[in-house]
């Protein structure tokens, strides 16, 4: 039966590196570092750059020393001292806060226009009110006429 059962084997086989090869790579790396150190000590201009490079090597830890990482999201926030913080500076609003303020302002603008009767809804409301007033006046007029007719019929009897 093949490796992996009936469905077959997926993926590659594991490869292990020889301890001899690891030793050889480490020696080559040490030699490169030693050669770089000798070259750095030879020139005065290279001393300034060597201090910068050494600080870079010291800052990197783990895999960072092996791989160059250009991740803008990885930048750590530097903490500010209390004396550096500017309390009077205008604070930037978040997107949600800005949207909330805009929503409130637009609501106030709409209500102002609505009270002045300039919005479509206000115009429709005023038209409806006018119709209702007219209907009530007509109904009141009819009631008055009926009442007068009823009084006239009583007076004639």
Q: Which of 39, 60, 81 is the last residue of a domain?
A: 60
What is the reported pLDDT for 117? Answer: 87
- Number of independent structural domains in the chain: 2
DSSP for the chain reads --TTGGG---SPPP----HHHHHHHHHHHHHHHHHHHHHHHH-HHHHHHHHHHHHHHHH--GGGGTS----GGGPPPPPPPTTT--SSSPPPPPHHHHHHHHHHHHHHHHHHHHHHT-SHHHHHHHHHHHHHHHHHHHHHHHHHHHHHHHHHHHHH-
What is the reported pLDDT for 46? Answer: 47
Q: What's the pTM?
A: 0.35
What is the reported pLDDT for 53? Answer: 54
pLDDT in tens, the chain (157 residues): 556 667 766 777 777 888 899 999 999 999 988 888 776 666 544 445 555 555 555 566 666 667 766 776 777 777 877 777 777 777 788 999 999 999 999 999 999 999 998 989 999 999 999 999 999 999 999 999 999 999 999 888 7
Whether residue 127 is contained in a domain is answered as yes
Whether residue 49 is contained in a domain is answered as yes
Whether residue 96 is contained in a domain is answered as no
Whether residue 80 is contained in a domain is answered as no
Whether residue 83 is contained in a domain is answered as no
Residues 6 or more apart whose Cβ sits within 8 Å of residue 122: 113, 114, 115, 116
Q: Which of 43, 60, 77 is the last residue of a domain?
A: 60
Whether residue 144 is contained in a domain is answered as yes
Whether residue 137 is contained in a domain is answered as yes
What is the reported pLDDT for 40? Answer: 63
Range of the domain at 25: 19-60
Whether residue 28 is contained in a domain is answered as yes
């Amino acid at each position: 039966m093949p490796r992996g059962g009936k469905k077959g084997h997926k993926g590659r086989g594991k490869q292990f590196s020889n301890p001899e090869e690891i030793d050889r790579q480490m020696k080559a790396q040490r030699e490169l570092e030693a050669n770089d150190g000798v070259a750095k000590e030879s020139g005065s201009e290279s001393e300034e750059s060597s201090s910068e490079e050494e600080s870079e090597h010291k800052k990197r830890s783990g895999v960072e020393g092996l791989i160059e990482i250009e991740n803008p999201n990885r930048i750590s926030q530097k903490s500010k001292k209390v004396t550096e913080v500017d309390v009077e500076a205008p604070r930037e609003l978040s997107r949600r806060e800005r949207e909330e303020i805009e929503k409130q302002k637009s609501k106030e603008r709409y209500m102002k226009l609505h009270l002045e009767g300039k919005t479509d809804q206000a115009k429709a409301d005023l038209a409806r009110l006018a119709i209702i007033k007219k209907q009530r006046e007509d109904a009141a007029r009819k009631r008055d006429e009926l009442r007068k007719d009823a009084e006239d019929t009583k007076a004639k009897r």
